[in-house]
Amino acid sequence: MTPASDNSSDPGQVFAPAPTPAPNPVPNPVPAPVPSQRRVCVVSGSSSGIGAATVLRYAREGWDVVVNCAHRIEPAQAVADACRALGVSALVVRADVASDADCRRLAAEVEAAFGRVDVLVNSAGTTKFVAAKDLDGLQAEDFQRIYAVNVIGPWQMTRALLPLLQRQPGSGVVNISSIAATMGVGSSIAYMASKGALNAMTVGLARALGPQVRVNAIAPGMVDSPWLKQGLGAERYAATAVGYRARATLDALILPEDVADAAWWLGAGAAKTTGEVILLDAGLRLSRG
């Protein structure tokens, strides 16, 4: 009798010498991931703000979701836990959308976990708060960093997830843009320019990826969010909010949940809408006064 090995979980088990393996054994193939029975939405930059509201919106509709962050994992985990509490699966992936390698790794992790992607929402974004008249306040490096996240990031995420999107009928990409692109106002000229580029890319990708994949964008007005309050400072934020509401026909700011509702419609519905930039500004363009 051969004694049981030290790490045996069953002390009564008897082990016999292992048989000699056949020469050149054929390795077991890695099984392909079984596609999720639920539809899957990937939202970049979804640990807070518009991204978090969007991923929660899809979870409430019964979709499995992917929560993405570039830095601190704890807020993303909290959003994922809130999604799981709704009865869906949530995968958290830390990846910088400005890194092509990170985007491709994210796509591989999503395929391994779910085997499918039905909607991609490109919500990750960054800026530098600089007054438009302060031309010396922006350097080439600022433009490059902002474009890397706001323009190249959505491009790389779309490219990395495209094979999965193309497998699903009616799939869609939703880019989160801004009225800054068309109004000439915003946190900085670099930010305005990046969102203008994102709008152009949205139309170009819609042409390139149809009819399999729809591509649209949302251009929100002033969003009531901690990110904007922190960037502007409390006093300037309050004054800007008063001025915005005074000009907006609906006398309101935009909430992250408002953008999430639009992202839900464009991603899960809007079957015959592509190449559009949807203005979501509470009627600011009508300018009451």
Quick check: 271 and 241 in contact, CB under 8 A?
Answer: no
For 235, counting Cβ atoms within 10 Å of its Cβ (0-12 exposed, 13-18 middle, 19+ buried), the class is exposed
Peptide bond into 11 cis (omega under 30): no
Using CA atoms, how far apart are residues 193 and 150, in angstroms rounded to an integer?
A: 10
Quick check: 255 and 281 in contact, CB under 8 A?
Answer: no
Known catalytic residue: 237? no
Side-chain half-sphere exposure of 274, counting CA atoms within 13 A:
18
Return all residues near 54 (Cβ < 8 A) that are at least 6 apart.
Answer: 41, 43, 46, 121, 123, 256, 259, 260, 263, 264
End-to-end C-alpha distance for the chain, whole angstroms = 94
Site of tokens 């639009």: 262
Quick check: 101 and 74 in contact, CB under 8 A?
Answer: no
Using CA atoms, how far apart are residues 214 and 266, in angstroms rounded to an integer?
A: 9
Residue in 58, 147, 191, 244 annotated catalytic: 191
Quick check: 118 and 40 in contact, CB under 8 A?
Answer: yes
User: Which residues belong to the active site?
Assistant: 191
